Amino acid sequence: MIPGGFAQHGIGGAKDLPLPPELAIAGAVAALAVSFGVLSLAWRHPRYDGREPGRVLGRPAWVGLSDLTASSGWHVAMRTIGLVFFCFGAFAAVFGQDLLTNPVFGMFYVWWWVGLPVASLLLGPVWRAVSPVRTIHAAVGRLTGDPDRGLYTYPERLGYWPAALGLLAFVWIELVYPHGTELGPVRLWCAVYVGLMLIGGAVFGSTFYERADPFEVYSTLLSKLSIWARTDDSGDDGRLLVRSPLANLATVEVRPGLAGVVAVLFGSTAFDSFRDSTPWVKLIQGTDVSAYLLNNLALLAFCVLVGLVFMTGTMATGVEPGTRRASLPDVFAHSIVPIVAGYIVAHYLTYLVEVGQQTLILASDPLSNGSNLFGTAGWSVNYAISYHPTALATAKVIAVVLGHVVGVIAAHDRALTVLPERHRITGQLPLLVAMVAFTIGGLYLLFAA
């Protein structure tokens, strides 16, 4: 989980202990039991999909909160927050020093990559609300015409693929690139990101951000596990609703590339766990083959493997005459999102809490000249989580198993609407096996590393 490639000076210190074997096995058994329990005992008519149009699931939230979050003042406040973080990060990246104490590294690898998804799990689609590239695009667009429309319409067949590539680009600099903890590369990555996002927004309009901004796709995908929704889901108007994460999950927009996004998220986190394991460390260090090449290949291999296992799991079933088998992975990809979320929480929890605090402390001194802008420079990190390894390990297993449970239920519900009557139960088996494989694989990596 330490960025900057192998054996570099990452921005984390100690890593988590591996899971005790009893706990990992208990988790695996629970995952298996729940999977087959759901398959045999769960409902036979879809609860979250295929409802009559106009029938909205969920309870309206408190009117005050609904009005507040729909107000223009709120939107302005959110955009300002995003811009403030952006400007501060840019300031530290451009004028700060190339030392590990530059807060930009913590902002990039911890606050943005882990903090944002966790915030989205709790609060809804955060990046859509705060995204500085959207703000800049909207500001420029307002001067030159309609910001929502671009020169061309975003091609439907492109779907989420650009976002999948963007996420791959991030995990590459986080996990593989040996100079990921030097200021120049991080600065360049951010500059290219901003540039591509602004160009894309100009060419395709604001739809580009919904489909191709890796952070917006990531944030919105995880926000489908939160309890928040709006009656008018396309914008930020309509009434605020509180509803079951399962009902929310069913509203993930199915587009080409969704399975790719999920495969990159899960595969990269699995690779992150794997590369700290003793067998991999010894392999990389013991051979003359370039470690850089091996790490690149392994990252790609993990993402592709997850994708292939998922594709096989979803496509190995009978289909209705009108359904294209190749569309099934994207149709079912939403059910992997809870497994991804559970695994991300298990893998990054300590990192977020401890290195996140450290970044807050370093943020008071962006230029590394001894200043104390926000008064946090004298604070010390609270390592309480690390001092309770058993409780931490239990929390990790619970997160992974819970993610698995939600995923299996979501897959079951989707199968009831998509698969033909004859294959409604048997058709789910391959996907179930794939999901059990992911969860047990994830638990094994948490145990072996």
Q: Per CB under 8 A, which of residues 307..326 are in contact with another protein?
A: none
Q: How many degrees, rounded to 5, is the angle at CA 445 between CA 106 and CA 426?
A: 120
Q: Which stretch binds another protein (CB under 8 A): 23-31, 125-133, 156-164, 228-236?
A: 23-31
- β pairing state of 240-242 and 228-230: antiparallel
- The answer to whether 39 contacts another protein (rule: CB under 8 A) is no
Q: Per CB under 8 A, which of residues 211..230 are in contact with another protein?
A: none
Count of Cβ atoms closer than 10 Å to residue 232 Cβ: 10
- The answer to whether 21 contacts another protein (rule: CB under 8 A) is no
Among 36, 43, 62, 95, binds another protein (CB under 8 A): 43
Cβ nearer to another protein, comparing 20 with 185: 20
Q: Per CB under 8 A, which of residues 153..212 are in contact with another protein?
A: none
What is the DSSP annotation of 35-60?
A: HHHHHHHS-SS-SSSSPPTT---SEE
Q: What phi, psi does 336 have (nearest 5°)?
A: -85, -20
| Closest by Cα among 374, 385, 372 to 15 | 385
- The answer to whether 261 contacts another protein (rule: CB under 8 A) is no
B/e letters for 317-356, b = 16+ CB within 10 Å, e = fewer, are: bebeeeeeeebbbbbbbbbbbbbbbbbbbbbbbbbbbbbb
Q: Per CB under 8 A, which of residues 349..378 are in contact with another protein?
A: 354
Q: How many degrees, rounded to 5, is the angle at CA 337 between CA 406 and CA 121?
A: 85
| Closest by Cα among 68, 99, 266, 119 to 182 | 99
Among 3, 4, 10, 150, binds another protein (CB under 8 A): 10
- Report, in Å, the least distance between residue 418 CB and another protein: 21
- The answer to whether 42 contacts another protein (rule: CB under 8 A) is yes
Q: What phi, psi does 400 have (nearest 5°)?
A: -65, -45
- The answer to whether 394 contacts another protein (rule: CB under 8 A) is yes
Q: Which stretch binds another protein (CB under 8 A): 67-75, 120-128, 296-304, 381-389?
A: 381-389
Q: Which stretch binds another protein (CB under 8 A): 34-42, 325-333, 359-367, 371-379?
A: 34-42
- Report, in Å, the least distance between residue 291 CB and another protein: 9
- Report, in Å, the least distance between residue 384 CB and another protein: 10
Among 19, 38, 176, 337, binds another protein (CB under 8 A): 38
SS3 (DSSP) at 243: coil
- The answer to whether 297 contacts another protein (rule: CB under 8 A) is no
Between 399 and 418, how does the x/- string for binding to another protein read (CB under 8 A)?
Answer: --xx--x---x---------
Q: CA–CA separation, 398 vs 400, rounded Å?
A: 6
Q: Which stretch binds another protein (CB under 8 A): 156-164, 199-207, 247-255, 380-388?
A: 380-388
- The answer to whether 22 contacts another protein (rule: CB under 8 A) is yes
Strand 228-230: give its sheet, edge to edge. Answer: 59-60, 240-242, 228-230
Tell me the number of residues near another protein by CB under 8 A.
47
Among 91, 282, 326, 379, binds another protein (CB under 8 A): 282
- The answer to whether 430 contacts another protein (rule: CB under 8 A) is no
Are the CB atoms for 102 and 183 separated by under 8 Å?
yes
Among 3, 4, 27, 106, binds another protein (CB under 8 A): 27
Count of Cβ atoms closer than 10 Å to residue 382 Cβ: 11
Q: How far apart are the first and last CA of the chain?
A: 11
- The answer to whether 13 contacts another protein (rule: CB under 8 A) is yes
Among 7, 199, 301, 373, binds another protein (CB under 8 A): 7
Size of the chain in residues: 449
| Closest by Cα among 197, 52, 182, 208 to 109 | 182
- Report, in Å, the least distance between residue 265 CB and another protein: 24
Q: CA–CA separation, 38 vs 418, rounded Å?
A: 17
- The answer to whether 386 contacts another protein (rule: CB under 8 A) is yes
- Report, in Å, the least distance between residue 127 CB and another protein: 30
Q: CA–CA separation, 260 vs 264, rounded Å?
A: 6
- The answer to whether 281 contacts another protein (rule: CB under 8 A) is yes
- The answer to whether 110 contacts another protein (rule: CB under 8 A) is no
Cβ nearer to another protein, comparing 246 with 319: 246
Using left for φ > 0, alpha for ψ between -120 and 50, and beta otherwise, residue 309 falls in alpha
- Report, in Å, the least distance between residue 362 CB and another protein: 14
Are the CB atoms for 350 and 385 separated by under 8 Å?
yes
- Report, in Å, the least distance between residue 382 CB and another protein: 11
Are the CB atoms for 219 and 120 separated by under 8 Å?
yes
Which residues lie near another protein (CB under 8 A)? Answer: 2, 7-10, 13-18, 20, 22-23, 26-27, 30, 33-34, 37-38, 41-43, 276, 278, 281-282, 285-286, 354, 381, 383, 386-391, 393-394, 397-398, 401-402, 405, 409
